Amino acid sequence: MCDSRSSLADAAPTALAEDRPFPDDLDTKGRSGITTLPSGEPEEWQGSHPRREFKARGSQVVRCEACRLPQLNCLCPYRVKAESRIRFWLITHPLEHYKPTNTGRLIGDVLEGTDVFSWYRVEPDPRLLALLEDDRYQPFIIFPDDQPDYADRVVDINAIAGVGEGVPTHTSAGEPRIPVFIMLDGTWRQARRIFRRSPYLDGLPVLPLHSQRLTRYHLRKAASEAHLCTAEVAAELLRQAGEEAAASVLDDYFDAFNDCYRASRIHYVLEPTAPMLRLLARREASDSSE
């Protein structure tokens, strides 16, 4: 996802077969293991599509209801919280909610205060609009800086610390504003559409990710190894912003997710890897301190 060109969409231009349910294939009653419709969908989605069972590859897999991974290699034992002064708001394409390979949700598993909003072109989420008007937050859109028409909005990572002009760091009452990274969660085509067709985002600073990191994501085919998935982008942003501890936890959690899912595809029961062991140790330390 990120050469900085695809640095915010989860993976490749087209998804794998098991990740490709369309609106008329959705089973809102959960009969086939597909998650029910997310909150905030337009009314016309309710009851207007055939309720035929989802038949794509992977639909018969028995999944954990909490982590959505096959129960053969459940991710739940490795879920660990981390602290960061930075918040993440994910604006997620509706179809991305149903893809079990989506990595955007890993951010919310790790970082408190993460919010997820479904994107609809003509019906923006009122809760998101309210947050964008909230003086306590300073949001940045994570998006490439390769087009001239918004070059005047582009900032670098130092802007979250108040370095540079045009980015207020304090509220009207003099309190430090909370930096927020807005990530557009979907394929690159979907993310570009969200960016271009959401006028409520037009005035916000654009923060591109520049990184030499190569993707470790194996569940969808990316156009390039430089294209990072959503969770990898988030971890790299945290690291560049000085949030090393949170970045390390999210990186380990992503690796655990990646390995658990890949092993499940070949019906292999995975032994704990080094990232998993680190997460288990963190979880044990956190439990013992409570």
For the chain, give the secondary structure using H, E and C. CCCCCCCCCCCCCCCCHHHCCCHHHCCCCCCCCCCCCCCCCCHHHCCCCCCCCCCCCCCCCCECCCCCCEHHHCCHHHCCCECCCCEEEEEECHHHHHCCCCCHHHHHHHECCCEEEECCCCCCCHHHHHHHCCCCEEEEEECCCCCHHHHHHECCHHHHHCCCCCCCCECCCCCECEEEEEEEECCHHHHHHHHHCCHHHCCCCEECCCCCCCCCCCCCCCCCCCCCCHHHHHHHHHHHCCCHHHHHHHHHHHHHHHHHHHHHHCCCCCCCCHHHHHHHHHHHHHHHHC
- Domain ranges in the chain are 17-289
Please give the pLDDT value at position 12.
Answer: 35
Please give the pLDDT value at position 251.
Answer: 97
Please give the pLDDT value at position 223.
Answer: 59
Q: What percent of the chain has pLDDT over 90?
A: 57
pLDDT higher than 50, residue 3 = no
| Of 215 and 130, more confident | 130
When mean pLDDT is compared over 12-26, 211-225, 266-280, the highest value belongs to 266-280
| Of 51 and 277, more confident | 277
Please give the pLDDT value at position 225.
Answer: 64
Average the pLDDT over 274-280 and give the result. Answer: 97
Please give the pLDDT value at position 288.
Answer: 79
Average the pLDDT over 160-166 and give the result. Answer: 68
Question: What are the pLDDT digits (tens) for 122-159?
Answer: 899 999 999 999 999 999 999 999 899 999 999 999 88
Average the pLDDT over 87-92 and give the result. Answer: 97
| Of 33 and 191, more confident | 191
Please give the pLDDT value at position 226.
Answer: 65
pLDDT higher than 50, residue 242 = yes
Please give the pLDDT value at position 7.
Answer: 41
